[in-house]
Structure formats: structure tokens, C-alpha cells
């Protein structure tokens, strides 16, 4: 009895002091918690097993992808066959033919693009400039001085460079400085037409050669390059027949920073 009283007093004192005795085993204190942990571990294991790649599933997915690709290819082929059997091909061909015909007529009769390959017309044109050449007005109004023209090389030019030279087959671009009946002369770096010195702000520099005086024959013009000392032009190979003129240069359309018609008169 005395021992039981001592134990009771000891328990009361321990509770009052806030001291707790740690359990010897979590299983002994909370067996449910241990079972819950085991269940969680089992579920994690099941999850890992579920997430493991399945080769059969991959093969099935690949087969589905292949089937989808085949169906897509078949649908494209069927769509093409359906389009081909309809009236659309004929309509598309007619539209393309009309557009091509219009472009060719525009190219051969009205205006055509040209590319500058050299510095013979510098500073008016630089290498790489692309310009539009109109081909209509040459038929309705005469060629004038200071106009820039594109032309097929005359026979005298071909003889000078040689018939086998590729330049003999390429169109040229120069400036008209004299028309039929004019008397042209280059002396002291200046151009004189009919005895009058010409104002030529478009030239790169004064001519370093002497030329003339010469009289331009009927049906011809005299053309020179704006880069007078670096141009294979009329002061070397003579006069240009008017029928060789393709058209007048009207404006530069490329590159954008050269856009315009400055110096073309």
C-alpha cells in the first residue's frame, strides 16, 4: 500500500513538471501510423511500377502514329485527285496563262528591267542599280540630247570588241550628247556641240581625251558615258543607229536608297 502511494505521488509530480517519457517504440504507441506508412510505401511502389515504360504501349503508339501519317498522306492524295477532276485546274491554268501573257507583253512592248554591271555611267548609275526602261516613247517622239538610252551594240562596237566577246551581245547604256546634224567636239576636257560648250553636271570628271569635231550622220546619235574616262562609248566606236535603241531609262527602282530619276533628264 505504501509503495502504491509513492508511485501515485511520483506520477503527479512528473505531470506537473511537464516532462514526458518517450515511447520505446512507435509501433507500440501508434500501430496505425506504422500501417499507414506501409500503405504509403506500397502505393509509391505501385506508382513507380505504373510509370515504368511499357514497350508494348510504345509499339502501339508508334503504330497509331504511322496509321495517322498514312491516313494524312491518303487524304492529301485524295484531295489532289478531287481537285484534278474538278474545273479548278483549267481555271488556274487560264489565270496563269493570262498573267504570263500580260507580263510578257509588258516586258517586250512597254517597259523592261535592266541591271547596271559597270561604272561607265557613274555617278548617275552605280554597279548593281536596277532601272526601268520604257520602250514606247521612242516610237512617238524623237531622241534628244542628255537622255539616257539602253541600246543593242552597233556593228562598229562588235568589230571593236570582237564578235566572240560576250559584250558584243549585251545591251549597253549611255547618254545621248548629240543628235543627227550636230557637230560634236571634245577638247580641254569639255564637250562642245555646234561650237557651244555644254553644261554637264552629271559627269564624273572632265574628259582626258580629244575627240572630233565630227558631224552626226542622219539616223544616228552620238552617245558617251557619264564616267568619261572609263567608258567604252561613241568617242571610240563611232555613232549609234537609232534603230538599235531599246528605250529610255526612266527611273531606278533598286536599291531603295537610289530610288528616283535624278540625272536622267
Taking the CA atoms of residue 145, residue 151, residue 156 and residue 157 in that order, the dihedral angle to the nearest 10 degrees is 110
CA atoms within 13 A on the CB side of 231: 27
Is 75 one of the annotated active-site residues of the chain? no
- Least Cα distance to 225 among 176, 167, 153, 178 occurs for 176
Peptide bond into 73 cis (omega under 30): no
Give the separation between CA 256 and CA 215, rounded to whole angstroms: 40
- Is the Cα dihedral 126, 172, 145, 256 positive or negative? negative
Please identify which of the residues 57, 120, 164, 231 carries the catalytic annotation: 120
Residue numbers annotated as active site: 120
Amino acid at each position: 500500500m505504501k509503495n502504491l502511494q509513492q508511485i501515485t505521488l511520483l506520477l503527479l509530480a512528473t505531470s506537473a513538471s511537464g516532462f514526458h517519457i518517450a515511447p520505446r517504440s512507435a509501433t507500440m504507441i501508434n500501430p496505425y501510423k506504422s500501417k499507414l506508412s506501409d500503405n504509403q510505401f506500397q502505393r509509391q511502389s505501385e506508382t513507380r511500377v505504373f510509370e515504368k515504360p511499357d514497350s508494348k504501349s510504345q509499339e502501339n503508339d508508334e503504330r497509331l502514329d504511322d496509321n495517322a501519317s498514312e491516313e494524312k498522306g491518303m487524304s492529301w492524295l485524295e484531295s489532289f485527285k478531287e481537285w484534278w477532276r474538278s474545273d479548278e485546274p483549267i481555271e488556274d491554268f487560264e489565270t496563269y496563262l493570262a498573267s504570263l501573257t500580260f507580263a510578257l507583253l509588258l516586258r517586250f512592248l512597254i517597259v523592261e528591267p535592266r541591271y547596271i554591271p559597270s561604272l561607265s555611267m557613274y555617278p548617275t548609275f552605280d554597279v548593281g542599280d536596277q532601272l526601268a526602261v520604257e520602250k514606247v516613247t521612242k516610237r512617238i517622239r524623237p531622241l534628244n540630247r542628255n537622255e539616257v538610252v539602253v541600246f543593242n551594240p552597233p556593228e562598229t562596237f562588235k568589230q571593236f570588241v570582237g564578235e566572240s566577246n560576250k559584250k558584243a551581245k549585251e545591251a549597253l547604256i549611255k547618254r545621248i550628247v548629240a543628235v543627227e546634224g550636230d557637230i560634236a567636239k571634245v577638247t580641254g576636257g569639255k564637250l562642245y556641240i555646234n561650237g557651244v560648250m555644254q553644261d554637264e553636271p552629271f559627269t564624273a570628271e572632265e574628259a582626258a581625251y580629244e575627240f572630233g569635231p565630227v558631224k552626226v550622220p542622219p539616223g544616228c546619235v552620238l552617245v558617251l558615258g557619264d564616267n568619261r574616262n572609263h567608258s567604252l562609248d561613241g568617242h571610240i566606236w563611232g555613232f549609234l543607229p537609232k534603230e538599235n535603241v531599246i528605250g529610255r531609262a526612266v527611273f531606278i527602282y533598286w536599291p531603295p536608297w537610289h530610288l528616283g530619276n535624278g540625272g536622267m533628264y
